[in-house]
Amino acid sequence: MAQDAGAAGQGEELGLARLQTTIGFLLLGGWRFANSCFNQHFKHIDITPASYGVLLLIEENPGCSIGSVGRAMSIAPNSIARLVEGLVARDLVSKRVSEADARTRLLELTVEGRKFLDLLEQRHAEYESEIVEVFGKDRHDALCALLRPFVGAGPAEELDRF
């Protein structure tokens, strides 16, 4: 029989031993920590991790298509289209029709988008520094190496927030 831990279990410490070997639980904990840090460093800037990733991809691959960005980020077509439209509306990204296929829109950063990305990269460097400070550089690098194979491995997801 379980012991009474007081009103509503306040102060109760639960055993997590079985969850400590569950990859989904551990990834979720890591994601929550990283997301919390991201939100702290970017709280006064209107950006999400997905939008930041899209801006980085477009900078690194000027003239890429909306579809290729969505596939690289594992973002469903409807979601990536809305995300890109939001970046276009903010004058961070420009779209043009592909000469090879009029159905395809190609993306580039605007001058404003490049300036904004410079600011984001400064904040991101601070964010990564905090994570390295907490985990140590070797553990940070090892975790990144372990997680790289998962990038793009899952199905495309609908996004609630862009």
Q: Would you say residue 17 lies in a domain?
A: no
Per-residue pLDDT band for 116 (boundaries 50, 70, 90) equals very high
Q: Would you say residue 80 lies in a domain?
A: yes
d(CA 153, CA 49): 18
Q: Would you say residue 16 lies in a domain?
A: no
Q: Would you say residue 10 lies in a domain?
A: no
- The domain of 134 spans 25-150
pTM of the model: 0.83
Per-residue pLDDT band for 6 (boundaries 50, 70, 90) equals low
Q: Would you say residue 8 lies in a domain?
A: no
DSSP single-letter state for residue 157: B
Q: Would you say residue 15 lies in a domain?
A: no
Number of compact structural domains in the chain? 1
Q: Would you say residue 97 lies in a domain?
A: yes
d(CA 73, CA 80): 9
What's residue 54's pLDDT? 97
Q: Which of 69-78's residues contact partners 24+ apart within 8 Å by CB, and which partners?
A: 69/107, 70/156, 71/152, 71/156, 72/152, 74/151, 74/152, 74/154, 74/155, 74/156, 74/157, 75/50, 75/156, 75/157, 75/159, 76/156, 76/157, 76/158, 76/159, 77/156, 78/158
- The model's pLDDT over 61-108, given as tens digits with 9 standing for 90+, comes to 999 999 999 999 999 999 999 999 999 999 999 999 999 999 999 999
- The model's pLDDT over 101-114, given as tens digits with 9 standing for 90+, comes to 999 999 999 999 99
**pLDDT of residue 1 exceeding 50:** no
- The model's pLDDT over 37-62, given as tens digits with 9 standing for 90+, comes to 999 999 999 899 999 999 999 999 99
In terms of residues, how long is the chain?
Answer: 162
| CATH number of the domain that residue 74 is part of | 1.10.10.10
d(CA 93, CA 3): 58
d(CA 64, CA 54): 11
Q: Would you say residue 143 lies in a domain?
A: yes
- In DSSP terms, 107 is beta-bridged to 64, 95
